[in-house]
Amino acid sequence: MRPLTNEETKLVLTKLKKYIGQNVRTLLERSDGLYCLRLHNNRVYYVKEEIMKFAVSLPRENLVSLGVCFGKITKGGKFMLRITALDFLHPYCQNKIWVKSSSEDSFLYGNHVYKSGLSRISDNTAKYTGAIIFSSKDIPLGFGVTGKSTPECRLADPMNIICFNQADVGEYIRNEEGLI
């Protein structure tokens, strides 16, 4: 487990800013302690600094994971955010989308959010920004990238894509081996 390089840090923080904006600092400097991002086997982990200091004494080949896997740096050099980061991102998100209870299952099976399944969307949501998807009961279901801005959503047809699915909690069942 090693610290991220400058390029990797920029890559990860750019992706996180897409979803939580300037709250990235709040995510790393929480009231219960300082947290850091570490890389192990091309996966980026979010871990408390106190726990990370204990893990330094372990050999790399014996360490499977530490903390919460936020995502993976692909061979192409991009950062792919994973669903395991949802619990840490949703309190800080700026753009929210609520889906109707009738289209929750569709989203959890990996489909996009259509206008017909849209219940609400937060004001001033821009096009192609990150958004957290919530159920009608305010339970976070996943995250994605908006396909339309808030004003465009009002005029959209029912079959227009409002948000492209990036990750959803259904992945815990569909891809449980690949999450760790």
Tens digit of pLDDT for each residue in 80-101?
999 999 999 999 999 999 999 9
More confident residue, 161 or 176: 161
Quote the pTM value. Answer: 0.87
Q: What is the pLDDT of residue 179?
A: 63
For residue 24, how many other CB atoms are within 10 A of its CB? 16
pLDDT of residue 180: 61
Is the per-residue pLDDT at 171 higher than 90?
no
Average pLDDT over residues 145-164: 94
CA distance 145 to 9: 21
CA–CA dist 100, 151 (Å, integer):
19
Residue 18 corresponds to which tokens in the numbers above?
A: 């897409």
Predicted pLDDT at 52:
86
What domains sit in the chain, N to C, each tagged with a CATH number? 2-88 (3.10.450.220), 93-174 (2.30.130.10)
Rounded mean pLDDT of the chain?
A: 91
Concatenating the DSSP letter of every residue in 109-161 gives TTPPEEGGGEEEE-TTPPTT-EEEEE-TTS-EEEEEEESS-HHHHHH--TTSE
Amino acid 44: pLDDT:
94
